[in-house]
Chains A and B, each alone.
Chain A
Amino acid sequence: MAKHKHWGGRLYLIFAFALLYTPILYLIYYSFSSGTNMSTFKGFTLSHYQTLFSDSRLIVILLDTLLIALLSSLVATIVGTMGALGIHTLKQRKLQNFILSLNNILMVSPDVIIGASFLILFTTLGIALGFGSVLASHIAFSIPIVVLLVLPRLKEMNGSMVDAARDLGANRWQILSKVILPYILPSIFSGFFMALTYSLDDFAVTFFVTGNGFATLSVEIYSRARQGINLEINALSAIMFIFSILLIVGYYFINQYTQSRRNKRQRGGAYLQ
């Protein structure tokens, strides 16, 4: 009975994973087809990849997308970390929760609402739509996740470490740079990383605030996909899939590393307590 159930479970999981990955592999499979559609495979070719790499418009868009992602995550990480430090120093619990609920508004709002309201904001302020508005929006929607990732780590921190540093004569800046920041560094990295994926992944918000002259990769894919099937997009998906795998493997190892370091520290710390 138990054995039978086991097999049922395995079969179900095979079904679920097949469901999740078939569309993605379908895309990649046809990126090697010399035909023009996604119905019949017409012989192996790399020509779509060649077109892709010689498509200078797309390369510019790709570079812009990466630039936006890196800049926005950097700024969002700095502002978000400062926000988390600020919230942490607050004494009143109620005030902390109030600020956190403001923080979470952008986390739970549907993308269309964020996009539409930012569009109104930029128009009201008279800011031209384009690189600047997209960058500002990406910074804005990445800040809350940084706060949510850094704050728990701050709460985990033993307050007596800060007291000890103060007793040993460290000033405010030294306490921050020598004690607090090194301790919360792993969570700052996760925050940065998460902000990066938010930015790379976003379509809806960017679509609203991008204006006419500027496009990110998502917006470009959307406008091309609306014109029908173009196997160049398939080639692009294949490359992005490999890129995602690399990113996620990187993230996995960073996580494993910080986790094992944390465990080691906790084991080491047991003697001190």
Chain B
Amino acid sequence: MTTLNHKTRQWSYFSLYFIWIALFVIAPVALIIYQSFFGLDHQLTLANYKNYLSSAVYLKMTLNSFVYAFLITLITLVISYPTAYFLTKLKHRQLWILLIILPTWINLLLKAYAFIGIFSQTGAVNHFLTFMGIGPQQILFTNTSFVLVAAYIQIPFMILPIYNSLVDIDPAVIQASHDLGANNFQTLWRVIFPISINGVRSGVQAVFIPSLSLFMITRLIGGNRVITLGTAIEEHFLTTMNWGMGSTIGVILILIMFLTMTLTSGTRKAGTRKNHGKA
């Protein structure tokens, strides 16, 4: 009797949740894989994969996508690590962290839009360049502007996990390092950095994977060209209506995502971009 009760209770909790898993987790993944085997003529085929693997354009785009995501991650990391480190030294840290989170609540498109103004021919950056005697440059609609804007948008998602790992460090460990004769740099490089490596890993994961797929920034800032996997998927699904090819690139993006997660996983704490960003 009790076991029966227990079972029905479990089932009643689960019913809606299971429907969600089946319908919105398993089905979409299955469908995108299924769709990737169909050509424009709705015939079952391997042509999409063959196209992808034999096309210099697609392979080069994948490589570019990688390079851009790598650059974005690197720039974000270089700016964020010191920020996170110095933040742990402040009083009222809760409040400062809130100020790091606040920009993530501003719609991403509005932030990208701001750069249309800042990077434009007569915008703030070019005013500055003219003032420095370099003269106005074409910044908007270049790949550089895409990388810079993407890095700007991702900075908080890198700072937060690193900050979380740094703030957990026991001050006694640092004290011990100094007592044992390490100078500031040695302490930072040999003690603090290795302890915070899990935060760096989560940060890299939180920045690298979305950087492969930021199609709206490529569209708005990068000059409306197809330069990343994300843009290619969007183009195939919404413009050229070649869902088969779009799904193929999607499957490849999923594979890259798993690869990145395996490479960066280690023993990191559970946590995702969205967690760190908003919690």
Contacts and interface: CB of A to CB of B under 8 A. Distances in A.
Interface of A: 5-6, 9-10, 12-13, 16-17, 19-21, 23-24, 26-27, 30, 37-40, 78-80, 82-83, 85-86, 89-90, 99, 102-121, 124, 136, 139-140, 143, 145, 147-149, 172, 190, 194, 197-198, 200-201, 203-204, 207-208, 217-218, 221-222, 225-226, 228-229, 233, 236-237, 240-241, 244-245, 247-248, 252
Contact of A21 (B101, B103, B115): B103
16 contacts: A12-B82, A13-B86, A16-B82, A20-B100, A24-B106, A111-B210, A111-B213, A113-B233, A117-B28, A118-B24, A120-B28, A121-B27, A121-B31, A143-B24, A248-B101, A248-B102
Interface of B: 5-6, 9-10, 13-14, 16-17, 20-21, 23-29, 31-32, 35, 79, 82-83, 85-87, 89-90, 94, 98-103, 105-118, 120, 122-124, 127, 152, 155-156, 184, 209-210, 212-213, 215-216, 219-220, 229-230, 233-234, 237-238, 243, 246-247, 250, 253-254, 257, 261, 272-275, 278-279
Given A86-B14, A108-B273, 6 more contacts: A19-B79, A24-B103, A103-B21, A109-B257, A116-B250, A240-B107
Given A5-B184, A89-B10, A197-B105, A110 B220 contact: no
Given A110-B253, A248-B101, A172 B5 contact: yes
The 4 closest A-B pairs by CB, nearest first: A38-B117, A83-B17, A117-B28, A86-B13
A90 B13 CA distance: 11
Contact of A117 (B230, B250, B272): B250
A13 to B, nearest CB: 5
A112 B114 contact: no
Given A79-B20, A248-B102, A110 B9 contact: no
A194 B83 CA distance: 25
A30 to B, nearest CB: 7
A172 B9 contact: yes
B47 to A, nearest CB: 18
A38 B27 CA distance: 46
Contacts of B274: 107, 145, 198
Contacts of B16: 78-79, 82-83
